[in-house]
Amino acid sequence: MTIILRFFKNNDKGKKYNPKRTIFCYFCQLFEIMIYWQLFWTYIKIGLFGFGGGYAMLSLIQHEVVETHHWLTAAEFTDIVAVSQMTPGPIGINSATYIGYTVTGNVFGSLIATFAVCLPSCIMVLLIARSYQKFRSNRYVDSAFQGLRPVTVGLVAAAALLLMNRENFIDYKSFLIFGVAFALTWFKKLHPIVLIVLAGALGLVLY
């Protein structure tokens, strides 16, 4: 949309006033603003309800970004998850930065998405830090945390199942890489970075 606006602005130089062209540019600008607002509101919701960290947030992120807004395809979302895993920092924040740029085509979109996903947790942690010492022995607070723990495990499991699709498992080689990665992680406790490097090298050899 930004490219369309620049095109009309450049072509309008030295030309007569055209009301239709002006109205079209106005709606383009309005649509662009709405994209930023949708991005901000979407990641506010993700940050507010994304309990359990980055991997637990993946199912919610995929629902909003792929299924609801159709900003990305399932294959593109999988690629972003892979890139977010290989870069420093939490996967939820890294994916927000990457998706924000992909959706808007500029750094401002990345900043909005990253700020939005961090804002709810920052506010909640500050509030909890001030009152945790007072309410940590409260049985209602303890009961709420007892309920959140299994939900976190369920969200991580749901994220794993959502990523098990045809885009990720294209042939028997994909299942082979998956099985080796699972075995090395579960039995050998191999470091994730080493595992990612080995998987990339194996992909170069097999494909």
42 vs 34: CA distance, rounded Å? 12
The candidate with the shortest Cα–Cα distance to 3, out of 30, 20, 28, is 28
Q: Would the CA dihedral through 37, 41, 44, 50 be positive or negative?
A: negative
pLDDT, tens digit, 9 for 90 and up, residues 150-207: 887 787 787 777 778 777 788 888 888 888 888 988 898 888 888 888 888 888 888 8
DSSP state of 171: S
The candidate with the shortest Cα–Cα distance to 54, out of 1, 138, 113, 117, is 117
pLDDT band at 52 (very low <50, low <70, confident <90, very high): low
pLDDT band at 21 (very low <50, low <70, confident <90, very high): low
Model pLDDT, residue 27: 56
pLDDT, tens digit, 9 for 90 and up, residues 65-90: 888 888 888 888 888 887 877 777 78
Residues 6+ apart with CB under 8 A from 75: 167
